[in-house]
Each structure stands twice: as C-alpha cells, then as structure tokens.
Amino acid sequence: MKLGILKTGTPPAGLEHFGSYPAMFEKLLGESAYDYAVYDVQAGHLPDRPEACPAYVLTGSANGAYEDLPWIGQLTEFLQQTRGRAALVGICFGHQIMAQAFGGKVIQSPHGWGQGAHRYDVLQNEPWLGGARTITLPASHQDQVVELPPNAEVIAASTFSPFGMLAWRDQRAISLQLHPEFEPDYAMALAETRRGNGLSDTEVDRAVASLREPNDQVRAAGWIRSFLTKALGEA
C-alpha cells in the first residue's frame, strides 16, 4: 500500500544526525510495510490530488497551525479536500493542523511546554487500540487543541492535554498530540535543546528521566498500522 508522508518540519540544528521526520515514521511503521511517498509541505510540495495516496501521515513541526504562512494555508486546503477521500493520521503538529482544518481551534497553551514522557488515559476504546487503557509516549509541544472539531471525539487525554487524541466519526482520520516516532535518544536530545530556553534545568532533568522509562512506542506502531488496515479495508 502507498502511504504518503506530509513532511511539515525538520529536527532542530545539531540534531540532524537522528534522521528526518519521514525516516522516523518509516522506521516506526516498518521500512518495508508500505510504499512510502514523502511530500515536503514546507517547500510547497503536496500531492497533485487527494487520491494520490490512499492514506497520509502528517508529521510534527516547529511552526504553529495558526501561523499565517503560505504552506500552512495550502496544507489546510489540501486536508479539507481530502476529507473522505483518503485516510489521515496526524502527529503533534499534524494533530493540531487537522483539528484546525476541520473546525477546531489551536493556540499556544498557557500550560507551557509539554516535555518528557506523558501518559494519556484511553477514554473511548477503538477496535484498533486492542484494549489499551493508557498511552505513554514522548511529548514535545507548546501548542494545543483547545476546541474540538465537529464530528471528532476525544479518545485519549490527560489533564495537561484534554484533547490529546482524536478520532473523526465522519471520515477515516485519527490524530495524536504525542510522538510515537521519537526514539528516546532523540526525545532526550530535543529536551536538552530547551534547557534555559523555555525550560528550567529541573524541568529538563525530569523530562529526560521520564524518557528513560519504557513507553508504548512499539504498541503505538501497531495501533497506527491496525487503524490504516481497518480504515482502508472500509474504503
């Protein structure tokens, strides 16, 4: 199956050796599991039509979904055109831009940085979640969804992120604020870039310590693959 990766960001300077965000997703989901097609959305590259791929994954980004940038407007329009024509999986910025494109609201949260390993409680079990009751994965975000889009339901959340994971009921789409594609080493290095630059030493130390603990990365890869299999089986 062809899987489009909509690349909306890059690792910060000095962390390029960890690989690109599309490469992280290919490793997460299995390099031979799909026929991957990468589109550099920040450079203005989008599929020529929504049906170019039966499904798309949207990556993280340092930009905000609310920023007035040409590529964000182009991506928003593409997502609106894609509704019901391809399956969607949004991660972090991908989660936020999907929520905004479909009628929700995203802001820079007054809660500040979400950093380290965060745990969400599963509020609405889905067949592809395999009975999971919690989700623990790396977080790295200032922005948050603060208003639910129409026809979307919160399926996992925390006190810090009340709209942490969404499923749409009028299309084949899910999104997650957390980062299943981040390996612990990358997540820790990313947290270190914010030491004294948005986060205190104590906050960074706490985040790094949490990222050394086991998380649900392997299970999350299975959840995404199961969602795509189910979604495309129903297409």
Cα–Cα dist 233/195, whole Å: 45
Burial of 19 (0-12, 13-18, 19+ CB in 10 A): middle
Cα–Cα dist 60/79, whole Å: 16
Which one is catalytic: 95, 118, 141, 179? 179
Annotated active-site residue 92? The verdict is yes
Position 31, amino acid: E
DSSP for 182-218, written as a single string: --HHHHHHHHHTTBTTTB-HHHHHHHHHHHTS--SHH
Which one is catalytic: 53, 92, 118, 126? 92
Annotated active-site residue 16? The verdict is no
Cα–Cα dist 186/87, whole Å: 28
Residue 228's contacts (CB-CB under 8 Å, 6 or more residues apart) are 1, 3, 55, 87, 89
Here the tokens at position 31 are 């390099």
CB atoms within 10 A of CB 144: 22
Annotated active-site residue 53? The verdict is no
Q: Are 172 and 231 contacting, i.e. CB atoms less than 8 angstroms apart?
A: yes
Catalytic residues: 92, 179, 181
